[in-house]
């Protein structure tokens, strides 16, 4: 079973809400009807997007969010919403206090995050790109160490290409350029330390040693040059 399948299985035990109330100035009466008229897996992304943007702020509560979560994560990972961005959707997990949910639910969410990251690192270009996925994962509040370790393996051409995109377009001095990064959060410092502390440089050097194809060597050279100085 895929991590997404497991997510639907685990959260399938969450009861469907009778209604999803919201701020009367932000949500029209009965607006949730399209969200509750069939299986959660069948909700159209376009219908779910408005809820995804307003969930837990002006629309709905945590039990309702848990009910919709598998489809929310599925759509976010597929970049199926024109808005909100995946980083916003995944950030709702932290707002919902998911680290205090039952163990089976936490395990299912964590497995989904890792599978999404694995799939991203093995596909380039990807939608959403690795920069977005990493920032979205960070927004949940998980420790990024295993995600960064997986990337540092540079096990595929796609992983190398994503790293090239990240350091040449997603990094400016000592900050990450994706506007959704919380630059005061530990995750931002963790990624910068990973880039400047040596793991990435060592991974690039190891990839150089085993690689002979000129296009890939060019990407690795660009990455090495763009890395911030060791801290």
For 23-49, what is each residue's pLDDT tens digit? 888 888 888 899 999 999 999 999 999
Strand partners, 171: 176
Question: For residues 214 and 179, what is the distance between their CA atoms, to the nearest angstrom?
Answer: 33
Phi, psi (degrees; rounded to nearest 5) at 144: -80, -5
Quick one: DSSP state of residue 184? T
pTM here is 0.95
What per-residue confidence (pLDDT) applies to 231? Answer: 55
What per-residue confidence (pLDDT) applies to 219? Answer: 97
Question: For residues 178 and 131, what is the distance between their CA atoms, to the nearest angstrom?
Answer: 8
What per-residue confidence (pLDDT) applies to 25? Answer: 85
Q: What is the mean pLDDT of the chain?
A: 95
* Segments of the chain with pLDDT less than 70: 231
Other CB atoms within a 10 A radius of the CB of residue 146 amount to: 13
């Amino acid at each position: 079973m895929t991590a997404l399948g497991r997510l639907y299985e685990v959260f399938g035990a969450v009861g469907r809400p009778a209604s999803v109330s919201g701020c009367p100035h932000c949500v029209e009466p009965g607006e949730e009807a399209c969200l509750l008229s069939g299986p959660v897996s069948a909700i159209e992304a376009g219908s779910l997007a408005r809820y995804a943007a307003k969930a837990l702020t002006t629309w709905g509560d945590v039990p309702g969010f848990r009910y919709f979560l598998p489809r929310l994560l599925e759509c976010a990972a597929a970049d199926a919403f024109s808005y909100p961005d995946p980083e916003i959707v995944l950030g709702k997990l932290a707002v919902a206090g998911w680290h205090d949910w039952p163990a089976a639910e936490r395990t299912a969410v964590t497995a989904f995050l890792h599978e999404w990251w694995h799939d991203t690192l093995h596909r380039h270009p990807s939608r959403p790109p690795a920069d977005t996925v990493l920032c979205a994962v960070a927004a949940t509040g998980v420790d990024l160490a295993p995600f960064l370790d997986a990337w540092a393996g540079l096990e595929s051409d796609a992983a190398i290409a994503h790293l090239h995109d990240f350091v040449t377009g997603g990094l400016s001095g000592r900050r990450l350029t994706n506007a959704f990064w919380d630059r005061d959060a530990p995750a931002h410092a963790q990624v910068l330390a990973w880039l400047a502390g040596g793991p990435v440089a060592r991974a690039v050097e190891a990839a150089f040693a085993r690689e002979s194809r000129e296009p890939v060597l060019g990407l690795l050279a660009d990455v090495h040059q763009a890395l911030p100085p060791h801290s």
